[in-house]
Structures are given as structure tokens and as C-alpha cells.
Amino acid sequence: MNQLSNRAFESITRLFHDVSGIKLGDNKQALVSGRLQRLAQEAGEVDLDRYVHRLVQGQATPEELTRVIDKLTTNETYFFREPEHFNDLVERLHAHRKGQDFQVWSAASSSGEEAYSIAMLMSDVLGDSPWRVTGTDLSTSVVASAQQGLYPMDRAAMVPPDYLKRFCLKGQGEHEGKLLIARKLRERVGFMQANLMKPLPSLPLFDVIFLRNVLIYFDMEAKCDIVRRVLTQLKPDGVLYTGHAESLSTLGLPIKVVATAIHVHA
């Protein structure tokens, strides 16, 4: 199949930006062409530019548009990514008064590895105390796979062996070679679709918010909007983690940095 023309690339990146807030750079033309090809074929369109034309003219169904947005988001993630935040979280969990509720939000949770890593630590430290993890993401397909909690075994490299035994089940039959997050953990972790660029759905106030490896995709204005919106969900003594490559210090936001990529309300 053909590549997108410059004009079609501009149109589809503008549409994607309008929906998600993410700016795809000019160097992403081949990547975007590749990602759209299968969808175009499935929609019975052999010409990529014509497919894009249909999308931007509003001739696609909302479901088709969702599939396109899902395809264009970057969902890379893994268990216990950037472990410094998890070490910090463990300290906070130990300092937390037992029996009191503890709520954590994995904003931009992708396929759920971050949320389940958090849940493993919370179950370990807080046990049966009231606690919950909420995961949200723009992409409906990653939200659906996060809800399943089923992963290829080779994704478990960063999961401590003790946690693998306690919180993961070995897939059998059709799930051979996979691991399933144990039900007792899945019951405490909920996922839903939410766009950080739009008013947020109804959520509780959180003790800890993970907003990691998503801000890099936005321009400064969108980044500020997102962080301000997310901060409305953070308890007065709560903590916000961002990805290590995502500095907020120059944005003039009402936050204080307490350690690398760890923030509290100013």
C-alpha cells in the first residue's frame, strides 16, 4: 500500500491533535502510514489518502475514529518501570495509618502494568486495609486489555519473584505462556477510558497520582492544562509522580519538587 502524502499526513495529525492533544512530529510520517494501513484495508480502502480524507470529512463512524486514535497512541509500558517512584511509594505506604483508605491513580495507565505494579506493593504493605488503584487511559483498546490483566510471560522480567508467586497465575491451555494477575488484586484495580485533555470523569481524591511518560507528547500549554486538571484530584498532602524525562519546574505550576519527578502541592 502507498504512503500518506504530506497533505494527508498534516490532516490526520491535526485531527489526532484535536482529539488527543498530542502533536505528532514530521518525522512520524512513515510510522503513521504504517499504523493506518491495516485499518484502511479493513475499511475496504486501498488508498491511504482517500481513507484519511474520509476520516477528516467526518465520514467515519465514532468506532472507526476510536480505532484510529488507539492506533496512533504510543502505549509502551512495563512492570515496575522507573523503580524510584515505587521505592518512594513503599515509604509512603509504611508511613500511612493502617485502616485508613489509600487511593492511587495511574493516569495514562496504558495496558495496566503500572497500575498492577502499584497494587502488588499496596497489597504487600497494606494487606486488607481499604485501598484501591484506578487506571485511566485515552485508548479504549489498552483499557480493555488492562481490565483482562493477562500478559505474555516475558513481560514479567521486572516483577520480583516473590510477587510473581503471590500475585500472578500461570496461564494454562489457551493462555499457555501468559500470566494472569490474581483475582484478589484485580478486584482492587479498576480501569476506565478518560482523556486528560477533557474534563475528567467522576474520580475520588488520590493520595498518589502517577502521571508518567505521557506529558512528553504535549506542547507546553497542553501540559500545563493537564497537570492543573490532574492536581484537582490530588489530596492536599498527596504526591504526584511524573516520568523522569518530564520536568515541570519551568511551567509555573502550583507545585513543589521534593525529589526528581516527585511533586507536592505548593
Ligand X SMILES: C[S@@+](CC[C@H](N)C(=O)[O-])C[C@H]1O[C@@H](n2cnc3c(N)ncnc32)[C@H](O)[C@@H]1O
CB of 139 to ligand X, least distance (A): 4
Name the active-site residue from 49, 70, 88, 137. 137
Identify the residue whose cell numbers are 499457555. Answer: 176
CB distance 134 to 203 below 8 Å: yes
Q: Is 35 a catalytic residue?
A: yes
CA distance 97 to 170: 34
Please say if 137 is a catalytic residue. yes
CB of 132 to ligand X, least distance (A): 18
- Which member of 35, 54, 132, 188 is catalytic? 35
CA dist 77 and 91 (Å) reads: 23
Handedness of CA 150, 155, 156, 158 (dihedral sign): negative
Name the minimum Å distance from CB 159 to ligand X.
14
Q: Is the alpha carbon torsion for 147, 151, 157, 160 positive or negative?
A: positive
CB closest to ligand X, residue no:
77
Q: Considering beta carbons, is residue 54 or 229 the nearer one to ligand X?
A: 229
Quote the least distance from Cβ 126 to ligand X, whole Å. Answer: 22
Strand partners, 137: 193
Q: Which residues bind ligand X (CB under 6 A)?
A: 20-22, 73-77, 81, 108, 110, 114, 137-139, 142, 195-197, 212-214, 243
> Smaller CB distance to ligand X: residue 49 or 213?
213
Q: Which is nearer to ligand X, 49 or 215 (CB)?
A: 215
Nearer to ligand X, 124 or 246 (CB): 246
Q: Annotated active-site positions, please?
A: 35, 137
